[in-house]
Structure 1
Amino acid sequence: MSASAKTSSSSTSTGNINIDPTGFVKLGSQLPKLASILAQAVNELSLSLSEKQQRTLLLYLDQLLLWNKAYNLTAITDPEEALIKHVIDCLSIITHLPTGSLLDIGTGAGLPAVIIAICQPERSCTALDSNQKKIRFIKQISSELGLRNMQPIASRIEAHEASYDVVTSRAFASLIDFVEVAQPRLADGGYLCAMKGKVPSDEELQALDSDWHIKTIKLTVPRLHDSRHLIEMSAKNA
């Protein structure tokens, strides 16, 4: 899938890190600027990511944009906008995630599952989506990026039977709907972590309050001015 363009193998200076442009197709001349934006975001989010990990994040972005039309992966086609609204947006939850095996429901192009797998190679990550084409993309990109901790699965959540310490999603509009489908896949003592824009309504939170400890974490996403939150939930009877 890599369809790599012929590029110079010399490193591109990006301020804090040097990114070898070999293998990048869609980012091209924008690579230095995007690498600088990413490096600044990583610093602002207090993440400890190596130059290799940051390069891998940019390669993922490159392939996401390269294969977007074929796999219908994202409505965002501008590289800088995609970097901020997809990659950096997902990076903002990394330091808040509980430890353990992770399932990402409705992962789409692998967001946040692939981003988490790149940043936390010690964590077992499963990316679940019923869309076969998107899972094929994740399988191919995981192989190319060497993500041995990533398991892409094409399935509806109702047909999936394993259990996990952490279940994430950024695909559900309704927190109640997310809890309904995610709860059966949650291991004892595990956590549900829903990526949201605005804070869920009082009605939603009150409907879940009797069964769940709910923690609302306000996220600060570098260069993104929209509201972002992570809703962390654990069962009260656990």
Structure 2
Amino acid sequence: MTNDLWQGQLRDGLATMDLSLTEDQQRQLLAFLALLNKWNRAYNLTAVRDERQMVSRQLLDSLSILPWVTTGHLLDVGAGGGLPGIPLAIALPDRRFTLLDSNGKKTRFLNQCVLELGLSNVEVIHGRAEACTPEQPFSQISSRAFTALENLVTWCGDLLANEGEFLAMKGQFPDDEVAALPAGWQVKSHRSLAVPGADGDRHLLVIARAQHSQ
């Protein structure tokens, strides 16, 4: 019954958001959600426990930033239960995704997802952002419910290319966090995100280095 419910919610949600995914991609998304639901009981990966809300608050919410993912290789910091990284990787199989988290239980779950879902475009790193040393900086870094914007740019700024941008997913527009951004950083743009079936506000903030500091 749950899978039928999820299948209908996903199909209708994608149509509302004008996102076109293949049947295989939709099956992968639902398989990911089933894994997340199963592992969440032991690993506390997400606060969402109501199965009727999972498609909206986990899959559709993650996919709501799809139009702004323009890079060929995205870093998702504080990847946690794989949101938004895993749904984005399923939707964009020709792009690469690196998922970074300091919690060993969560990265074990992410590695299991990669294995079971056959996600050859996903790499999982267990570690802290400050200790991460990629071969080259990323042009886009996503974060969802990870930390305050000030911490995001402070901890992860060295991982971002000079002309790169953070895709920071938030609930209500975080006026206080924007005001607390360190010198040299600015909100390049922001969007209100429409997520079918989700209550409350959702926002995407695109954060980049201030032009005068480049």
Same topology, TM > 0.5: yes
Kindly provide the CA deviation profile for residues 117-155 of structure 1, in whole angstroms up to 9, marking residues without a partner as x.
Answer: 111111110111110111011101111111101001110
Shift in alpha-carbon separation, 1:193–1:34, aligned structure 2, 3 A: same
Question: Counterparts of 2:177 and 2:116 in 1: how far apart (Å)?
Answer: 44
* Equivalent residue for 1:195, pick from 169, 181, 184: 169
Unaligned runs of 5+ in 1: 1-28
The answer to whether the 8 A contact 1:218-1:230 is kept is yes
1:211 to partner: Cα distance:
3.4
Q: In structure 2, what residue type is equivalent to 1:78?
A: D
Q: Does 1:132 align with 2:91?
A: no
Q: Does 1:166 align with 2:166?
A: no
Instruction: Show the counterpart of 2:69.
Output: 97
Instruction: Show the counterpart of 1:112.
Output: 84
Kindly provide the CA deviation profile for residues 148-190 of structure 1, in whole angstroms up to 9, marking residues without a partner as x.
Answer: 0100111011110112111011133421111111211002321
Give the length in aligned residue pairs. Answer: 210
The answer to whether the 8 A contact 2:130-2:156 is kept is no
Shift in alpha-carbon separation, 1:50–1:90, aligned structure 2, 3 A: same
TM-score by length of 2: 0.91
Q: In structure 1, what residue type is equivalent to 2:19?
A: L
Question: Counterparts of 1:214 and 1:90 in 2: how far apart (Å)?
Answer: 21
Kindly provide the CA deviation profile for residues 200-236 of structure 1, in whole angstroms up to 9, marking residues without a partner as x.
Answer: 2166247457533521111000111210000002222
Secondary structure of 1:69 counterpart: helix
Shift in alpha-carbon separation, 1:216–1:31, aligned structure 2, 3 A: same
Instruction: Show the counterpart of 1:65.
Output: 37
Q: Tell me whether 57-66 or 194-203 shows the greater mean CA deviation.
A: 194-203
Question: Hey, which bits of structure 1, 4+ residues long, moved more than 3 A?
Answer: 205-211
Q: Tell me whether 152-161 or 201-210 shows the greater mean CA deviation.
A: 201-210
Unaligned runs of 5+ in 2: none
Question: Counterparts of 1:155 and 1:137 in 2: how far apart (Å)?
Answer: 14
RMSD over equivalenced CA pairs, Å: 1.7
Secondary structure of 1:85 counterpart: helix
Bigger relative contact order (CA 8 A; separation at least 6): 2
Q: In structure 1, what residue type is equivalent to 2:133?
A: E
Percent of residue pairs bearing the same amino acid type: 38
The answer to whether the 8 A contact 2:187-2:205 is kept is no
The answer to whether the 8 A contact 1:107-1:171 is kept is no
Q: In structure 2, what residue type is equivalent to 1:88?
A: L
Secondary structure of 1:79 counterpart: coil
The answer to whether the 8 A contact 2:149-2:181 is kept is no
The answer to whether the 8 A contact 2:107-2:125 is kept is yes
Q: Does 1:44 align with 2:41?
A: no
